[in-house]
Structure 1
Amino acid sequence: MTADAPINWDLADPFTMDITVTDQDTDRLGHANNVVYVRWLEEISWAHIESLGMTWEVHESTGRAMAITRTEIDYLASANAGDHLILGTWITGFDGRFRSERRFQLVRPADGKTLVRATSTHACVNLKTQRPARAPDAFRDILASAVVAGGQGLRVD
């Protein structure tokens, strides 16, 4: 058995999630389906913010949530059933009011290859009305402190 290749993360200290691609994750072409990549992005996003203290209970108590407004995905190479992958994510921007930005990098450790890079943007919304709303203090404190250096995302005011 060979050792995994070193991972060259785009930014320092990602929050990571291990993934093993299953047969159910693949499409007719035999590689992970694009819908599955989006699911993985959502799963790691929730796990990351919850690890920072932005739990669903905080969302419910404030009546606010960060809703995805845009996701851009660059598929660089395919993942196949049985592949072990590591998905990394960072909060790369927060404007201090409404919008945040997150970046992702999906790597196959066996060869160190980056398979996907993605960026998503989010807007704070009122849970009842689904309309834009100013981020509550709890969100502002967590998001502002989590923005990574070098992310070149939204500016913190």
Structure 2
Amino acid sequence: MKHYTKTIVVKKEDLDDLDHVNNVRYLEWVQDIAKEHWQTEATTEMLDKYIWMVRSNYIEYKGQAFLGETLYLKTFIKDAHGPISVRVVEIHNQENKLILRSTADWCLIDRTSKRVIRLTKELTNLFT
């Protein structure tokens, strides 16, 4: 499976009242890396034709991250069938400790009709 990665540094605005990364911020990062991965791999024609919508998301918080820490985000498609793409996002700290794992079902949508559509072989091949 093709992986997409990025590195971020925790900023003050990422923190909650307990001075660690807010769970809402983690969810934003999960969404951001998924979108970036799609935009990096897809053709212009695909970007014009399709959009993705989250159907479900399961997040396991395995640790905490704090101001100034470098975090490593990695995402990949675990499975793809029908209109659903199962995407995994993992966030590790600089000691390579798993901080978060997200597994989400993303549903493929036709950009014009806004209807659910099945993944084509071309789309499935993008990520495998």
Equivalent in 13, 38, 44 of residue 49 of structure 1: 38
| CA RMSD, Structure 1 to Structure 2 (Å) | 1.9
* Map of 1:117 onto structure 2: 101
CA distance in 2, matches of 1:47, 1:115: 20
Equivalent in 43, 49, 73 of residue 59 of structure 2: 73
SS for the counterpart of 2:115 is: coil
CA distance in 1, matches of 2:43, 2:25: 24
* Map of 1:98 onto structure 2: 83
CA distance in 2, matches of 1:54, 1:93: 20
TM-score (norm 1): 0.73
Could you tell me how far 1:128 is from its partner in structure 2?
A: 4.1
- The 3 A distance-change label for structure 1 pair 141 and 86 is same
**Deviates further, 38-47 or 125-134:** 125-134
Could you tell me how far 1:48 is from its partner in structure 2?
A: 1.1
Q: What is the letter of the counterpart of residue 126 of structure 1? A: D
Matched, 1:36 2:36: no
- Aligned identity (percent) is 24
- The 3 A distance-change label for structure 1 pair 54 and 31 is farther
Matched, 1:26 2:15: yes
CA distance in 2, matches of 1:114, 1:87: 10
Q: Mind listing any 5+ residue stretches in structure 2 that lack a counterpart?
A: none
CA distance in 2, matches of 1:40, 1:81: 16
CA distance in 1, matches of 2:106, 2:54: 4
Q: What is the letter of the counterpart of residue 88 of structure 1? A: K
Could you tell me how far 1:142 is from its partner in structure 2?
A: 3.2
Q: Mind listing any 5+ residue stretches in structure 1 that lack a counterpart?
A: 1-11, 148-157
Could you tell me how far 1:134 is from its partner in structure 2?
A: 3.0
Aligned length: 128
Q: Which one has the bigger strand percentage?
A: 2
Could you tell me how far 1:143 is from its partner in structure 2?
A: 2.8
Equivalent in 40, 44, 47 of residue 59 of structure 1: 47
Structure 1 runs of 4+ off > 2 angstroms? 57-60, 126-131, 142-145
Could you tell me how far 1:145 is from its partner in structure 2?
A: 4.1
